[in-house]
């Protein structure tokens, strides 16, 4: 009896021949087509753009952030006209306190303003401090030497140095610093004398120039 032919229409035909299946497997296992020629440059361009933005942002912050110091930048400050300079107001009393404590003032007169008995006179309640502006300004500008009587007690310590911008001064304080320190000592430790202005210090500075250290008897002749 003869075998039926594969092409017999009476038999159900296979969906794929052995040859087509083998060809499909070889195609899948084979090398994929090289599609580099169709590579898109958009992702690479975006990488360069964002890298540039990050570099720019870092450079900008480094130059203009001011280390994020609130004393430099104030986000609540009002806008100023172009070219206008910001004037920072300094409390003379606070400046005077800082200068007093950072210089040689508190070494002799103490932070309490009581001085050292028999050596350095007190500033608290001193008639020289709360009295005549003319006298106390000259003392701080040019210095004081010789004996001086404060609150009924005589002191004969070493000469007080000159603090102003005068010859022989080791401090060279500007007129506004002189005014600030005097304003501080005249209102501290129970003292209640009025403030000293920079203009008044400048007036006396211009009048006396590089005067030598004052003596107490010279100063008592001034108003």
Give the per-residue pLDDT at 180: 96
Give the per-residue pLDDT at 202: 96
Q: 165 CB contacts (<8 Å, ≥6 apart)? A: 172, 173, 174, 175, 205
**Among 116, 119, 103, which Cα is nearest to 184's?**
103
Give the per-residue pLDDT at 24: 72
| pLDDT tens digits, one per residue of 101-156 | 988 799 999 999 999 988 899 999 999 999 999 999 999 999 999 999 999 999 98
Please state the φ and ψ torsions of residue 135, each to the nearest 5 degrees: -75, -50
**What is the topology classification, in CATH, of domain 92-219?**
Cytochrome Bc1 Complex; Chain D, domain 2 (1.10.760)
Q: Which residues of the chain have pLDDT under 50?
A: 1
Contact 213, 162 (CB under 8 A): yes
Please state the φ and ψ torsions of residue 164, each to the nearest 5 degrees: -80, 180
Give the per-residue pLDDT at 30: 61
User: For the chain, how far is it from start to end, CA to CA, in angstroms?
Assistant: 153
Give the per-residue pLDDT at 188: 97
Alpha-carbon span 106 to 113, nearest angstrom: 8
Give the per-residue pLDDT at 50: 87
Give the per-residue pLDDT at 212: 94
Q: Which is it for the CA torsion 100, 102, 107, 111, positive or negative?
A: positive
Domain chopping of the chain, boundaries: 92-219
Give the per-residue pLDDT at 126: 96
Contact 144, 216 (CB under 8 A): yes
Give me the torsion for CA of 210, 215, 218, 220, rounded to 10°.
Answer: 120
């Amino acid at each position: 009896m003869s075998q039926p032919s594969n092409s017999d229409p009476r038999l159900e035909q296979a969906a794929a021949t052995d040859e087509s299946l083998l060809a499909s497997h070889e195609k899948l296992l084979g090398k994929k087509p090289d599609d580099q020629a169709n590579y898109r440059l958009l992702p690479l361009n975006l990488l360069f753009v964002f890298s540039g933005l990050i570099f720019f942002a870092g450079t900008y912050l480094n130059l203009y952030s001011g280390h994020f110091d609130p004393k430099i930048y104030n986000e609540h400050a009002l806008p100023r006209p172009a070219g206008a300079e910001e004037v920072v107001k300094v409390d003379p009393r606070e400046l005077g306190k800082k200068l007093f404590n950072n210089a040689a003032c508190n070494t002799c007169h103490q932070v309490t303003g009581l001085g050292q008995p028999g050596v350095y006179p007190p500033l608290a309640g001193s008639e020289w401090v709360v009295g005549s502006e003319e006298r106390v300004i000259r003392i701080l500008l040019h210095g004081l030497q010789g004996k001086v009587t404060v609150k009924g007690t005589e002191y004969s310590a070493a000469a007080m140095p000159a603090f102003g911008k005068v010859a022989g001064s080791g401090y060279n304080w500007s007129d506004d610093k002189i005014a600030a320190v005097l304003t501080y000592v005249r209102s501290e430790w129970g003292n209640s004398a009025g403030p000293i202005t920079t203009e008044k210090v400048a007036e006396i500075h211009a009048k006396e120039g590089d005067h030598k250290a004052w003596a107490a008897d010279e100063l008592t002749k001034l108003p």
